[in-house]
Amino acid sequence: MDKLKLIRVKIFALITILRTDSVLGRELALAITSLQRSRMFLGKVIEELFPGNDPYPESINPESDVIEPRADAEQYTYPSIDPLMTRIGRIKLLRKYIEELVEDIKNHNLVAPNFTDLVSDNELAGVFYTTSLISLAEAKMWLGEELG
């Protein structure tokens, strides 16, 4: 579970980096949306595989005014991006970071020793897991579209 949460934190860091782009066009906005989607579905994987870890217990209680803080939003810092790097170089670097996250998620043993068994035993977790991977791939593709 901790590895999945770390991946969510890394995705949040990428979203933060993308939001600071001075030219936030359609493709970058869609890349951010895809990253958000991936992060949310990883949260659903955690919820399915590790019951009792819902970080938003009041989210469905209409009687409550409580809004829980964003889960897994701890600070993660990617290596500093050279301010002299071109916009193209920066986008390619972000695509590289996304590819590394895809590889981390696909490396099941890195996530949990019995992760494959857990996902195969819980069909909904498998769907959420696949959707998260697809969303990461989609974010990378949107950044590719930004490159032209």
Q: In tens digits, what is the pLDDT along the chain, a chain of 148 residues?
A: 788 888 999 999 999 889 887 777 899 999 999 999 999 999 999 888 888 877 787 788 899 988 887 777 777 878 878 888 898 999 999 999 999 999 888 876 556 666 667 777 788 888 998 899 999 999 999 999 999 8
Q: Are 44 and 128 in contact (CB under 8 A)?
A: yes
Q: Is 143 left (phi over 0), alpha (psi -120 to 50) or beta?
A: alpha
Q: How far apart are CA 111 and CA 119, in angstroms?
A: 11
Q: Which of 107, 105, 127 is nearest to 11 (CA)?
A: 105
* Residue 51 burial (C-beta neighbours within 10 Å; 0-12, 13-18, 19+): exposed
pTM: 0.85
* Residue 96 burial (C-beta neighbours within 10 Å; 0-12, 13-18, 19+): exposed
